[in-house]
Structures are given as C-alpha cells and as structure tokens.
Amino acid sequence: MAEGAGAGPRLAELLAAGRRLWEEVETGAEPSSGAPAVQDKVRQGLDALQQAAAMVAQLDLFSENEELEEIASADLKYLLLPALLGALTLKQVDLSRRLEHLESARAHFWRFLTLCRSYGLGSFHLPPASPPGEEDAGSPSPGGPAAAQPSLVAMASSRQAKIERYKQKKELENRLASMRTFVESGQADEDQIREFYVLQIQKWINTSLEEIESIDQEMVILRSRGTAKQTYASGLPSVRLLKKQMPILKASCRPAVPLQNSVSGLYVTCLKCLCRNKNP
C-alpha cells in the first residue's frame, strides 16, 4: 500500500501535481497549445508524473497476477498514471518529434489499458501493442492506397463502438460529478472512495481507446508523408544531370522555339530572339 510505505504522501503529491497541470492545459484559456506558458506546464506535469510512475514501479504497487480486490482503495488512483502520461505527452508541440511523441503516448495508453484488462476493469477490445502497419513503415503498401482502406464492416463496427463509448463517457461524467464534492470533502467512506476511483479509471479507458485510434490514424498520415518525400527526393534528377541533358545553345543566337527537355520537362526559350522577331 503506497500511503503506508513512507513515500506515500510524496507519491500522492506528485500525482496530484501532474493531474492538476494536465487539467490546466486541457481547460486553459491560452489561444495556442504551443504558447511557452502552456508548454512549461506540459513539461512540469510530465516530470511530476514520470517521477510518480518511477516510484510506483519501485514500490511494485501493481501486478498483473493479483486481483482488483487486493488493491487498497487509496492506491487505485495510481492506476491512472500511464493514461495521464499519455495525455500530457500528446500536448507537446515539437513538430520535428511528433512521430516520437505519438509513439510514446500510444505506449502509455496501451500500458494503462493492459493494466485495466488484467484487473477486469471494463469490457473492451485491447488494441494491438504496435500501430497497424508499423512493420511496413517507410515502404509502400503492396496493394496501394486502396489496400489500406478499412472495410465497410469494420468502419460500421468502429462507428458503433464510438457511439457506445460516447454514451458511457457521458454517464460516467454525470456519476463522477455527483460524487466528486462528497469524496474530495472527506465525507465519503471507503466503499464510496473505491467506486469513485473505479469510475475515473473506466472513464479513462474510453479516453485511451479514443486516443489510440486517433494516434494510429495520425501516424499513418505522417508516415505516408515521409514516404512521399523520400520517393519525391529520390525521383528528382540532379542539377548536374539536368545540365547534361539541356541542349547546347550558342550565346549569340538561341532558338526562338521553346525546347522541352526530356528529363526535366522544362522549356528553354530565347528571349532575345523573341524580341527580334517581334520588333524586326
């Protein structure tokens, strides 16, 4: 039990600080998530949550071999650490490291879902550990773009799952709102506290499933852009090759008729000759 392990109060403070900073970033009035003040909060929140996660691992607080009933009610809230880490990781705005941040956030969300699955918290389909198509990243799909398109059945199933998650999310939010003041004021008993934390976890299960789905879609787009850039760069003729393929023309009199280069597709026109033809 974390609260009785000496480091408990410190651990609780780290979790509370990280969660508070995430809420400030999520609901803040800043016009841009890239504002320095926002990114400072993101870094501070990530630092606090990473320290808390390291302490949880050191304390060996959770195990996939134990039952949910074996976890103390006060310790249930620490199950949220991977999900909060994933949520804050997505708030980073360094475009040059976007793919890296997506991969890291996905790993956090997946870790959270794995823990919840092992404790029987919620009924959901666990996404694959790696994003779809990761093993083929950087190489074009054999079947082309059409092969990567989801089937109509899969799309309909995904849409229905989203509708169900949305309904569950609203129901959970209403129940949490009705319990929050009672629990945070210290008036709730242990059973009520336990129910409150379990509801929070179930809410974050839905959030994590949604985020992983969005991350997978964004990663496909980013990798497609990277592949397109590589293909474009490798397919362009070099400047030296273009010079070799361009027609050799005399400086004194160049042809007035445009010439198309077979490699570059560029046209070469003698402006002097055009001017002379126009004004003899």
Could you read off the pLDDT of 27-52 as tens digits, one per residue?
988 888 899 999 999 999 999 999 99
What does pLDDT average to over the chain? 79
Whether the predicted pLDDT of 98 surpasses 90: yes
Backbone angles phi, psi at 267, to 5 degrees: -110, 140
More confident residue, 210 or 135: 210
278 vs 273: CA distance, rounded Å:
8
77 vs 83: CA distance, rounded Å:
11
% of the chain at pLDDT higher than 90: 51
pLDDT band for position 134 (cuts 50, 70, 90): low
More confident residue, 237 or 181: 181
Whether the predicted pLDDT of 276 surpasses 50: no
DSSP code of residue 32: -
pLDDT band for position 226 (cuts 50, 70, 90): confident
- Please say whether the dihedral angle defined by the alpha carbons of residues 230, 235, 241 and 246, taken in this order, is positive or negative: negative
% of the chain at pLDDT higher than 70: 70
pLDDT of 8? 52
106 vs 98: CA distance, rounded Å:
12
Whether the predicted pLDDT of 273 surpasses 80: no
178 vs 91: CA distance, rounded Å:
29
Whether the predicted pLDDT of 191 surpasses 70: yes
Whether the predicted pLDDT of 252 surpasses 70: no
* Three-point CA angle 161, 164, 169, nearest 5°: 120
More confident residue, 103 or 228: 103
Whether the predicted pLDDT of 251 surpasses 50: no
Residue with tokens 């293909």, as numbered in its chain: 231
Once rounded to an integer, what is the mean pLDDT over residues 54-60? Answer: 94
Whether the predicted pLDDT of 250 surpasses 60: no
Once rounded to an integer, what is the mean pLDDT over residues 238-246? Answer: 46
Type of residue found at 221: I
pLDDT of 152? 73
pLDDT of 278? 46
2 vs 56: CA distance, rounded Å:
8
Residue with tokens 């995430």, as numbered in its chain: 22
Within a 13 Å sphere around the CA of 153, how many CA atoms are in the beta-carbon half?
0
